[in-house]
Amino acid sequence: MTYCVGLLLDAGIVLLSDTRTNAGVDNISTFGKTHVVESPGERALVMATAGNLAVTQAVWNRLQEGVLLDGVWQTLRDVPGMFRAAQLVGAAVRAVFEADGPTLRAQGIGFDCAILLGGQIGAAPPRLFLVYAAGNFIEATPDTPFLQVGEHKYGKPILDRVLTPATALADGVTLALISMDSTLRSNLTVGLPVDLTVIRAGECRLALRQRIEESDPYFAFLRQRWSDSLRDAYMALPRPDWL
pLDDT in tens, 161-184: 999 999 999 999 999 999 999 999
What percent of the chain lies above the pLDDT cut of 70?
98
Q: Across-strand partners of 81?
A: none
The model's confidence at residue 24, banded by pLDDT at 50, 70 and 90, is: low
The model's confidence at residue 22, banded by pLDDT at 50, 70 and 90, is: confident
* 187 against 25, higher pLDDT: 187
Distance, in Å, from the CA atom of 9 to the CA atom of 207, rounded to the nearest integer, reads 14
pLDDT tens digits for range 104-121: 999 999 999 999 999 999
Neighbours of 105 (CB within 10 A): 11
Question: Residue 64, exposed/middle/buried by CB under 10 A (0-12, 13-18, 19+)?
Answer: middle
Distance, in Å, from the CA atom of 177 to the CA atom of 65, rounded to the nearest integer, reads 33
Distance, in Å, from the CA atom of 197 to the CA atom of 163, rounded to the nearest integer, reads 18
Q: Considering only CA atoms, which of 148, 202, 155, 149 is closest in space to residue 177?
A: 155
Distance, in Å, from the CA atom of 195 to the CA atom of 34, rounded to the nearest integer, reads 7
- Show the domains of the chain with their CATH numbers: 3-234 (3.60.20.10)
pLDDT tens digits for range 31-71: 999 999 999 999 999 999 999 999 999 999 999 999 999 99
| Residue 26 pLDDT | 66
Neighbours of 110 (CB within 10 A): 12
| Residue 25 pLDDT | 61
H helix runs in 77-129, sequence order: 82-106
3-state secondary structure (DSSP) of residue 167: coil
The model's confidence at residue 1, banded by pLDDT at 50, 70 and 90, is: confident
Distance, in Å, from the CA atom of 163 to the CA atom of 14, rounded to the nearest integer, reads 12
